Structure 1
């Protein structure tokens, strides 16, 4: 029995040949697929189909991929992999914090895209908060958003309000890179001016609190020149 059979991948790509290659390789791995060629149709399909992952081209007719990505993040945390024809764009796009989980440059290996899909689906298996539990969990970290509680490996850890909001933001999409600017917006809602150094200081304190003593690598990692992610 194929474990991927119920997972749907939405491919938003205006080049039919590229879209069909992705369909063929994803189908071989047991995923179901749907293709949308027009950018302005993507959001409606995401709302109606609720796919497990979206492969989203950057340049699309009707509506570009960056705008779609930003608008989708207003109502969904579905994993999004962006396709771009310019490798030099990837670092810039990640730094702008549009909310994509990964980026692949054209021309690409279809097997690489499948591997990226599998990776973001594994990361998105984080337990999302429910009305009953209000809990977010990933690996050894768990937070309760209603009771403002954090546990690390089952032990309670005290976080400041800023640290809690930072961790909550990262827990929603493990593996995704968040720019310092996007983290600032998630932690401060009063339009104050906050420097990168301030965010780095909060992150250093948070890392010390959530890293296991016997773990050689912290679960909270910095991405040089961009921001932070949970891995």
Structure 2
């Protein structure tokens, strides 16, 4: 069974999700506190972490920041419904996606499966040749990327976005396509997830000598990894 960790202090919600997820082929472990949850998340025993932004000891954002210092494990954050600030903070801190509370178990399972499909790690094999897009190299099966021959530290969603841009090097990719290929879901109205992830990627790539970003926004269309 796929092992998932849930860090949330809502006892009833944890029990509800644990029972439902078990019927869907998941094993759910949990912690009601941020610090103990952080320790579990870094053990390497789990394939994904579900993390509430509000916890009794430290914030979910602080837990996420500490996870990202040591691990690329996929993280799905719970946010307050309609609270764009929480969503943006979570994404900027390295969350792969978010789901608003309250959500149905069915919606949660769909999000989990979408993330796990995108982040399943395959064994390194000799035929894993990189996609080369200028100074960018992408090894899809190893989930590895380098920029000017230096390895990039990317979240799983950032990797997926950059991989999609690399496969369309020099061409504009719509936000709808980026959302479907990288988040596993259609782009929702007023959803800024792609923009926030792209901002983080841009910071990691830096700028060209003339100050321009390597990833250009094409207004009304999408994003483009430029050829120079």
TM-score normalized with structure 1 length = 0.63
Aligned length: 182
Q: After TM superposition, give the deviation of residue 110 of structure 1 in Å.
A: 0.9
Q: Which residue of 1 aligns with 2:30?
A: 35
Q: How do 1:142-221 and structure 2 match up within 5 A?
A: 142-143=130-131, 150=137, 161=148, 169=154, 173-174=159-160, 175=182, 177=194, 179-188=197-206, 198-201=213-216, 204-206=224-226
Runs of 5+ unmatched residues, structure 1: 154-158, 210-231
Q: How do 1:24-103 and structure 2 match up within 5 A?
A: 24-89=19-84, 91-93=87-89, 97-103=92-98
Q: After TM superposition, give the deviation of residue 151 of structure 1 in Å.
A: 7.4
Runs of 5+ unmatched residues, structure 2: 141-145, 161-181, 184-193, 218-222
Q: Which residue of 1 aligns with 2:13?
A: 18
Cα gap change, 1:160 to 1:53, in 2 (>3 Å): closer
Q: Secondary structure at the match of 1:123?
A: helix
Cα distance between partner residues in 2 of 1:194 and 1:38? 47
Q: After TM superposition, give the deviation of residue 68 of structure 1 in Å.
A: 0.8
Cα distance between partner residues in 1 of 2:55 and 2:106? 23
In 1, are the aligned partners of 2:87 and 2:98 still within 8 Å (CA)? Answer: no
Q: Which residue of 1 aligns with 2:168?
A: none
Cα gap change, 1:151 to 1:51, in 2 (>3 Å): closer
Q: After TM superposition, give the deviation of residue 149 of structure 1 in Å.
A: 7.6
RMSD (CA atoms): 4.0
TM-score normalized with structure 2 length = 0.64
In 1, are the aligned partners of 2:51 and 2:76 still within 8 Å (CA)? Answer: yes
In 2, are the aligned partners of 1:77 and 1:173 still within 8 Å (CA)? Answer: no
Cα gap change, 1:170 to 1:45, in 2 (>3 Å): closer
Q: Which residue of 2 aligns with 1:212?
A: none
Residue by residue, what CA displacement relative to the aligned partner does 1:63-84 show, whole Å, maximum 9, x if unpaired? Answer: 1111111110111111111001
